[in-house]
Amino acid sequence: MAVCIAVIAKENYPLFIRSVPTQNELKFHYTVHTSLDVVEEKISAVGKSLGDQRELYLGLLYPTEDYKVYGYVTNSKVKFVIVVDSSNTSLRDNEIRSMFRKLHNSFTDVMCNPFYNPGDPIQSKAFNGIVSGMMVQTG
């Protein structure tokens, strides 16, 4: 389903990034990194108009030839980015939303861990498991 899932800190550095192993990992780094431009643009645009009642799900950030990049921003400005294959047309917006929600829940669990330092790379096994689940579903 997803080919790359990333969690990005408020200060815009990656807390977690995982991509399908077959592909060039750096490419996804660049894809996710550049998608932050759009995320920032979207946040700033939304911030002005809606105030606090913000939709966390940002929707499609940008389509590229091969991938679609979706974004999600928590209230603490932690960003989730999911990259999916463009060829996967069956994927609905709702499914992406639920993936983000799952990701957010798992991330919240990570943050609740008293041994986790906010700002450190995420190494939680549970979180990793959730991410793996989202990435293998394609089959």
Partner 1 sequence: MKMSVPDYMQCAEDHQTVLVVVQPFGIVPEDHFFKIYKRIASVSQVSIRDSQRILYIRYRHHYLPENNEWGDFQTHRKVVGLIAITTCTSAKDWPQTAERFHGQKEVYSSTLYDSRCLVFGLQGEIAEQQRTDMAFYPSFDECSDVERRVEDFVESIFIVLESKRLDRATDKSGDKTPLLCVPFEKKDFVGLDTDSRHYKKRCQGRMRKHVGDLCLQAGMLQDALVHYHMAVELLRGVNDHLWLGAALEGLCSASVISHYPGGTGGKLLGRKPSISQTTDAGKRHRPGALTTNGISADTSTEIGRAKNCLSPEDIIEKYKEAISYYGKYKNAGVIELEACVKAVRVLAIQKRAREASEFLQNAVYINLGQLSEEEKIQRYSILSELYELIGFHRKSAFFKRVAAMQCVAPTIPEPGWRACYKLLLETLPGYSLSLDPKDFNKGTHRGWAAVQMRLLHELVYASRRMGNPGLSVRHLSFLLQTMLDFLSDQEKKEVTQSLENYSSKCPGGMEVITLSAELKLPPVPFTKLPIVRSVKLLNLPVSLRPHKVKGLLGQNVSTASPFIYSPIIMHSRGEERCKKIDFQWVQGDVCEVQLMVYNPMPYELRVENMGLLTSGVQFESLPAALSLPAESGLYPVTLVGVPRTAGNITVNGYHTSVFGVTSDCLLEDLPAVKTSGCLVEVIPSLPRLQLATSLPRSAHTPQPMSKEELSSSVSVQLFNGETQQLTITLENIGCEDIETLEVTSKVVNTKEKVFSNFLSWKLEEALSHLPLKPGLTVTLTVSIQVKLDFSGQENLLQDLNDDGISVTGLPICSPLRQVLKPRPETKPISNDSGKLEYSHIKTLEAVLNFKYSGGAGKVDGYYRELSLGVHVDVEPSVFFTRVNTLPATSTRQCHLLLDIFNPTEHELTVSANRSQDLVLHASECQRMAIQVDKFDFESLPQLDQETAHFTNPKQLEEERQHARGCQINSKLQICWSIPSLQRCGEASVEGALNQLVLEHLQLAPLQWDVLVNGKPCDSDLVADCKVGDAVTLEVKLTNLSKNPVGPLALTVMPFQDYQNGVQNYDLDKAVTFIGSETFFIDTVKPKESSTCNGALLFLYMGDYYLNIKFQDDNTRRELPLAWFTLPSVYIRALDTPLQAGA
Q: Smallest distance, Å, CB 36 to partner 1?
A: 6
Binding segment (CB under 8 A) for partner 1, from list 63-71, 92-100, 105-113, 130-138: 63-71
Rounded to whole angstroms, the Cα distance separating 1 from 101 reads: 16
The pattern of x and - marking residues 20 through 49 that bind partner 1 according to CB under 8 A reads: ------x--xx--xx-xxx--xx--x----
Distance separating alpha carbons of residues 8 and 119, to the nearest angstrom = 10
Nearer residue to partner 1 within complex by CB, 41 or 55: 41
CA 46/CA 29 separation, integer angstroms: 26
Q: How far apart are alpha carbons 131 and 127 in whole angstroms?
A: 6
With respect to partner 1, which residue has the nearer C-beta, 52 or 120?
120
Count of C-beta atoms within a 10 Å radius of residue 129 = 11
Question: Backbone dihedral region of 72: left (phi > 0), alpha (psi from -120 to 50 degrees) or beta?
Answer: beta
Q: Which stretch binds partner 1 (CB under 8 A): 8-16, 68-76, 103-111, 129-137?
A: 8-16
The reply on whether position 12 binds partner 1 by CB under 8 A is: yes
Of these, 47, 50, 55, 63, which contacts partner 1 (CB under 8 A)?
63
Please report how close the Cβ of residue 108 comes to partner 1 at its closest, in angstroms.
21
Rounded CA-CA distance 105/93 in Å is 19
CB of 105 to partner 1, least distance (A): 25
CA distance 80 to 82: 7
Which residues here bind partner 1, judged by CB under 8 A?
A: 11-14, 17, 26, 29-30, 33-34, 36-38, 41-42, 45, 62-65, 119
